[in-house]
Amino acid sequence: GDPVVAIDSKLANDPGLAGLSEALSQGDPDRLKEFGRKLRDHAKVLAGRDYWRGLEKSPSLTLMYVPIEGASHALAALEDFDGTKFFNTHRVCVITPSQLPLALILIAEVCHAERKEEHIEELLSRGHTMAEAMAKFLDNYAKLGKKLGESVAAFNGGAAMTTSHGQVWQQVMKPLS
């Protein structure tokens, strides 16, 4: 069950994005909408890619890397676009250069925390198994101790009979009639 995260950077090589920075700086709403539609359409294609079938497990989410700060402004220029709803529906998130390191750090932390939880569960399971084994060992050890105590008591009782005050010695020393 490890999560799979895909990072798509195909748009980084798209010459059509060269004008996005200019459109952002000029606040050109028509060009921003054009870029916004291009970003949204590419994200939809990523969500429906057939090549995920070739993987053992499809991605839990896809990060669509757009190498221009403010790319989200182009998506916001679309009246019918809601980034949260889009992500929840398609599991594709548009990220920019400044967001990429943070996204990777968050993913690493989530995976690390998940692994810690798995290790904690394994340690707890081992602890319970060890406690059960230790209880059995101590039970057997207590039985052995009881038997050893009985053996020592029997030995001491036998040895006591041979002392000068013991029954065996008194019978040996008893005068014959």
Please report the pLDDT score of residue 50 as a whole number: 64
pLDDT value for 101: 87
Query: What pLDDT does residue 2 have?
Result: 65
Strands of the sheet containing 61-65, edge to edge, are 5-8, 61-65, 92-95
pLDDT in tens, the chain (177 residues): 566 777 777 877 777 777 777 777 787 788 888 888 888 888 888 888 665 666 677 777 788 888 888 788 888 888 888 888 888 888 888 888 888 888 888 888 877 777 777 777 777 777 778 777 777 877 777 788 788 878 888 888 888 877 777 777 777 777 877
pLDDT for the residue numbered 83: 83
Spatial contact of 62 and 46, defined as CB atoms under 8 Å apart? yes
pLDDT of residue 115: 72
Tokens found for residue 107: 């993913």
